[in-house]
Amino acid sequence: EIRLQLRFKQLPQKPLYFGIELPSYVPLSTMSRQAQKALVGACRRIIGDCYHSPGDDPATTKGELEPPTFVMPLWAFDQFIVSEPGTEPDIMSNLEGKGMKRSDGVR
């Protein structure tokens, strides 16, 4: 579990995305690459708007290298809470029942 608290000086006008990247390329076996492809495919079917790159292999790429990357919209997270300034919950406390949960729309 990762908890983040973000404060914006201005209200975002477009959807927010969260991304991660690895510091360098990681070679994958054929089986690992196929498993990764299946998992990313499942994420795309569920979320729709996400981006994944295994990164550029420095042994076969000239110029700037793209690191291994995954990005998805913030709404796809398990839970998020939007608060007015001064009403933010303590992120170290139990957040059960607060904010919006992705599973709220599941029947």
Q: Band the pLDDT of 105: cuts 50, 70, 90.
A: low
> 21: how many CB neighbours lie within 10 A of its CB?
13
- pLDDT value at residue 50: 92
Residue 107 has pLDDT above 80, yes or no: no
Tokens (6 digits) for 49 = 């708007």
pLDDT, position 96: 87
Strand 100-101 and strand 79-80: the pairing is: antiparallel
pLDDT tens digits for range 38-88: 999 999 998 888 999 999 999 999 999 999 999 999 888 888 888 888 888
pLDDT tens readout for residues 5-19 = 888 888 889 988 999
Residue type, 36: Q
Q: How far apart are the first and last CA of the chain?
A: 24
CA distance 65 to 84: 40
Checking if the pLDDT of 29 tops 90, the result is: yes
Element (H, E) at 42: helix 30-47
Question: What is the DSSP annotation of 2-36?
Answer: -------SS--SS--EEEEE-SS-----HHHHHHH
